[in-house]
C-alpha cells in the first residue's frame, strides 16, 4: 500500500522483573499497510503491542510515530495522537449497549467538560449529536444495525469482538492495533472480520498491526509479516515467503517438521 513509514521500531527491548520479553526488535510499518505480527504463544507479540499503546514501556530502543518517540508515553497520550487498539478479549462494558460502548471510543474527542454532560447546554447537545452520528457510521460500516441497542454482554462472543473493533474505530485512529481479533470466532465470523479488515485498509487507509494465529487469514490478507519467537524477530517479509521459511515452521511445529519438508 503506502511507501511512507508510519511506525518504526528501532532496537526495542523489554524486560520485566529481570525477565527478557523482547530483544532488540527492529522493523518498519509502512503507512496504509496491514502488517501481521505472528509467532507461537509467549513469543512477545502482545507485549510489543503493549509497548506501542503505552501499557508497557520499552527499556531500550526507540519507537517512532512520525516525529514522536512513543517510548515512555502513557496510554491516554498514545490514544490522543491517533493510535487505537483492540484486545484479545473484547473488554467491553458488558452492562452497556453496543451504541454506548462505541460512544466510549469517542471520549478522547469530547471537548466539553464532563460536568457539563449532565446538563442540556447547547454546546453539549451539539457535540453529542456529532459523536452519535459518527458512531452510527461505524454501526453501518461493521453491519451492527440489529445489535445497536443490545446489551453487549448478551451478544455472541464473535459479535462482541466486532464491537470491540468498532470502539477502536470510533477513536478515528491513524494506526490500529489488532490483538488476535479472530480468537473465539467461527469460520463465518472470521470471513466477516476479514471483509471488515480489508474495508478498513482500502476505504479508511488505516495502518494496522495485527497479531494473529490463523495463518490462512494472514496469508490471504497481510501485506507483510513479522515473526517473533521467544522475544526475538526471526523472519520478516511477504506472507508467501515468510510462511514457507524453515525458521518459522520450526518455531510453530518443531525441528522434526522442518526435516520432513
Provide the pairing of β-strand 68-69 with 60-65: antiparallel
**3-state secondary structure at position 62:** strand
Show the cell assigned to 53.
499503546
Contact of 193 with 162, CB cutoff 8 Å? yes
Instruction: Report pLDDT for 110.
Output: 64
pLDDT tens for each residue of 156-168: 999 999 999 999 9
**pLDDT value for 111:** 59
Helix (H, G, I), strand (E, B) or coil at 143: coil
CA separation for the pair 134, 28 (Å, rounded): 31
Query: Which pLDDT does position 256 carry in this prediction?
Result: 47
In the chain, where the domains are located: 83-172
At 255 the pLDDT is 57
d(CA 6, CA 153): 35
pLDDT at 260: 46
Q: Of all helices (H) and strands (E), which one includes residue 236?
A: strand 232-237
**Angle at which helices 187-199 and 157-169 pack, to 10 degrees?**
10
Which listed CATH number (3.40.50.300, 3.30.70.120, 3.40.50.970, 3.10.129.10) goes with 83-172?
3.40.50.300
What is the grid cell recorded at 85?
A: 487498539
What is the C-alpha separation between 222 and 253, in angstroms, rounded? 21
Residue 178 pairs in a beta bridge with 210
The residues, ordered by sequence, that sit 6+ positions from 170 with a Cβ below 8 Å of its Cβ are 102, 103, 104, 105, 106, 134, 135, 138
Q: Round to whole Å and give the CA distance between 86 and 163.
A: 10
pLDDT of amino acid 3: 54
- CA distance linking residue 248 with residue 258, whole number of Å: 9
Q: CA triplet 164, 168, 172: central angle to 5 degrees?
A: 155
- pLDDT < 50 stretches in the chain: 1-2, 113-116, 118-119, 256-261
Cell of 137: 457510521
Cβ atoms of 175 and 208 within 8 Å: the answer is: yes
Residue written as cell 522483573?
Answer: 17
Please state the length of the chain: 261
Which helix (H) or strand (E) element contains residue 10?
strand 5-16
Q: Would you say 25 and 51 are in contact if contact means Cβ atoms under 8 Å apart? A: no
Amino acid at each position: 500500500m503506502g511507501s511512507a513509514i508510519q511506525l518504526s521500531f528501532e532496537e526495542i527491548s523489554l524486560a520485566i522483573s529481570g525477565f527478557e520479553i523482547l530483544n532488540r526488535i527492529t522493523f518498519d510499518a509502512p503507512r496504509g499497510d496491514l502488517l501481521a505480527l505472528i509467532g507461537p504463544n509467549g513469543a512477545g507479540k502482545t507485549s510489543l503491542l503493549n509497548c506501542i499503546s503505552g501499557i508497557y514501556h520499552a527499556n531500550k530502543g526507540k519507537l517512532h510515530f512520525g516525529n514522536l518517540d512513543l517510548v515512555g508515553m502513557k496510554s491516554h497520550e498514545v490514544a490522543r495522537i491517533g493510535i487505537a487498539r483492540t484486545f484479545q478479549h473484547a473488554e467491553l462494558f458488558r452492562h452497556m449497549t453496543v451504541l454506548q460502548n462505541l460512544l466510549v471510543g469517542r471520549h478522547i474527542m469530547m471537548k466539553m467538560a464532563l460536568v457539563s454532560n449532565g446538563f442540556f447546554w447547547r454546546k453539549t447537545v451539539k457535540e453529542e449529536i456529532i459523536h452519535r452520528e459518527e458512531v452510527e457510521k461505524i454501526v453501518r460500516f461493521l453491519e451492527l444495525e440489529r445489535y445497536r441497542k443490545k446489551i453487549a454482554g448478551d451478544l455472541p462472543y464473535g459479535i462482541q469482538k466486532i464491537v470491540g473493533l468498532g470502539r477502536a474505530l470510533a477513536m478515528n485512529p491513524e494506526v490500529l492495533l489488532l490483538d488476535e481479533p479472530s480468537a473465539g470466532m467461527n469460520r463465518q465470523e472470521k470471513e466477516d472480520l476479514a471483509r471488515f479488515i480489508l474495508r478498513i485498509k482500502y476505504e479508511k487507509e488505516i495502518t494496522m498491526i495485527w497479531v494473529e494465529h490463523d495463518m490462512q487469514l494472514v496469508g490471504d490478507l497481510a501485506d507483510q509479516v513479522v515473526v517473533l519467537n521467544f522475544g526475538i524477530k526471526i523472519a520478516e517479509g511477504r506472507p508467501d515467503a515468510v510462511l514457507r521459511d524453515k525458521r518459522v515452521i520450526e518455531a510453530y511445529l518443531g525441528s522434526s517438521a522442518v526435516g520432513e519438508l
